[in-house]
Amino acid sequence: MYTLLLLSGGVGTRMQNAVPKQYLLLAGKPVIMHILERVDQIDSISDMVIVCAPEYESHIKQMLQQYGVVKPVRFAPAGATRQQSVFNGLRLVESEDVILHESARPFVKVEDFERLIGASHRNATFGTSIPFTVVKGHERFEGLLTRSELVNVQLPQKFETRLLKEAHKKAIEEGREFTEDGSMIFHYFPDTYVEICEGMDYDIKLTTRIDMLAGEQIYDDVFRRRK
């Protein structure tokens, strides 16, 4: 069985909105509830851990009740960095395997979660090819990257809980920050096979106001059944 670890600690500054984006309405429903409702239907996920700012805990609990979510949910406080938030959530994970996701990515279908769970390897992520050119540099070109060798890493991901906890402990000991957990596993356990499953073009992360506008169209196209 799996535990869903849902990162929901964002404060929404890039959205220029007082309310963090995961609590804004998308297609008439709070962004965070899109994932929670769908995960609630997946038998192989036993429970959920939501990492959020403590002041939003009661708000989320109220929404869980309103939307009739039945799986057990526990809460962990968001950390100062994404990595700290994952670590805080992992402390509550008891299942042997964990699915890591973030509430700002609401466009993941039940079938997508099931495809990840069914991936051949225990540690796996979604990923898509990169349709644009990326180079190293800040104010000037400092190095070239080969596009065909790159992957855009998408959540959700799944990991062996024990391995991910261990990787986080090592990162804390070394004072290293990773922006994504597959990379962390790969760094500390290079022999571990981290599978890349074919990702979804609709699995965007809602970051800016434009993403919210585009998100309405994505929802309409991918999730609304009435055409």
Work out which of 12, 29, 183, 192 binds other proteins, going by CB under 8 A. 29
* Stretch binding other proteins (CB under 8 A), from 82-90, 179-187, 194-202, 218-226: 218-226
Q: Which is nearer to other proteins, 41 or 179 (CB)?
A: 41
Work out which of 13, 16, 18, 28 binds other proteins, going by CB under 8 A. 28
Evaluate the CA torsion angle 110, 44, 85, 176 in order and state its sign: negative
Q: Is 58 one of the binding residues for other proteins (CB under 8 A)?
A: no
Compute how many residues bind other proteins; rule: CB under 8 A.
Answer: 10
Q: Is 213 one of the binding residues for other proteins (CB under 8 A)?
A: no
Q: Is 27 one of the binding residues for other proteins (CB under 8 A)?
A: yes
Buried-exposed string 87-116: b where 16+ CB fall within 10 A, e elsewhere = bbbbebbebebbbbbbbbbbbbeeebbeeb
Where in 67-86 is the site for other proteins (CB under 8 A)?
68
Indicate the residue type of 141. Answer: F
- Backbone φ and ψ for 61, nearest 5 degrees, come out as -60, -40
Q: Residue 134 CA to chain centroid, in angstroms? A: 23
Q: Is 43 one of the binding residues for other proteins (CB under 8 A)?
A: no
Residues 90-129, mask of contacts with other proteins (x by CB under 8 A): ----------------------------------------
- What CA–CA distances, in Å, run from 149 to 95, 120, 129, 181, 220? 34, 22, 9, 19, 33
The minimum distance between CB 24 and other proteins, in angstroms, equals 16
- Backbone φ and ψ for 91, nearest 5 degrees, come out as -60, -25
Q: Which is nearer to other proteins, 37 or 57 (CB)?
A: 37
CA distance 11 to 18: 8
